[in-house]
Amino acid sequence: MKSRISIATALALALAAATLPTQAAASSAPFSVGVTAAALGSITISSAAITCAPTDTISAHFACSTTTVTGSLRSSPTGSASLTVSSPAGPISGTGGSTIPIASLQITCTSTGTGKNATPSALATQTALTAGTTTACASWTTLPVVSSLDLLVGFFLDDRQVTADTYTTLTGFNVVATAT
């Protein structure tokens, strides 16, 4: 056993000597390591459109399509980070003159992540979108705010007031990364 250890030690020393000859020969100099880690947001969404196909007239929260949000978020040292959904002023207009207000749409955000600090401090549950601004989807307030994003954002429609019409696709919706 003793000889095995000696052989292993000798091999390790020989390997170290073989791989580090130039470092051993060179004069050493102190050096510093600088790290710059800026607040960043990286978002990838799995769907470039949200579609809604209500099949009844009685649902306050009819499920539309969903999108997964992956990526990462890092806040400033003492700031928080959040994911929001921005909405246009709206409304969604039909060619026949009908309209669907933005507030008829809701979001539910579900954390599916298992990464470091992946679980948000707060998540939206069938929260109505606010026209012309952002609606909170998820926020992180527990240090360190360095999160691997893996969220499912579900959209819902209150279809109880939706009348039959040909509705034009409305642009201006985004999943937004914010850090303060």
Partner 1 sequence: MRPQRRAFASALFAALLFACAAPEARADVGMTVQPLVIEFKAMPGAESFANVTVNNSGSEPLRVTLQQIDWHTTADGSVKIESVGTEGAQSLDPYLRISAPGFELAPGETRQLTITARLPAGYPAKSGSTWGGFFIRGSRADSPPGSFGPAATVLAYDTMGTPVRHMQLTALRATQIGPGTVRLFARLRNDGENFIRPSVRVMVERASRIVDDSTLVNSTVFPGDLRVLQHDLTGLAPGAYRLETTFDYGGDTLVEGTTDFTVK
Q: Which residues, 6+ apart, have CB-to-CB distance to 110 below 8 Å?
A: 123, 151, 152, 154
The pair of three-digit structure tokens given for residue 115, joined into one six-digit string = 């990464």
State the minimum distance, in angstroms, from the CB of residue 37 to partner 1: 9
Q: Which of 63, 128, 152, 179 touches partner 1 (CB under 8 A)?
A: 179
Which of residues 13 and 160 has its CB atom nearest to partner 1 in the complex? Answer: 160
State the minimum distance, in angstroms, from the CB of residue 112 to partner 1: 17
The position carrying tokens 């240090």 is: 143
Rounded CA gap, 41 and 146, in Å? 10
55 part of the interface to partner 1, by CB under 8 A = yes
Rounded CA gap, 169 and 146, in Å? 35
The position carrying tokens 């499920």 is: 63
163 part of the interface to partner 1, by CB under 8 A = yes
Per-residue binding letters, 63-92, with partner 1 (x by CB under 8 A): --x-x-x-x---xx-xxx-x-x-x-x----
State the minimum distance, in angstroms, from the CB of residue 7 to partner 1: 49
The end-to-end CA distance of the chain, in Å, is 60
Rounded CA gap, 70 and 111, in Å? 10
The residues that touch partner 1, with contacts defined as CB under 8 A, are: 38-57, 65, 67, 69, 71, 75-76, 78-80, 82, 84, 86, 88, 94, 98, 121, 133-134, 136, 139, 141-143, 145, 159, 162-169, 171-180
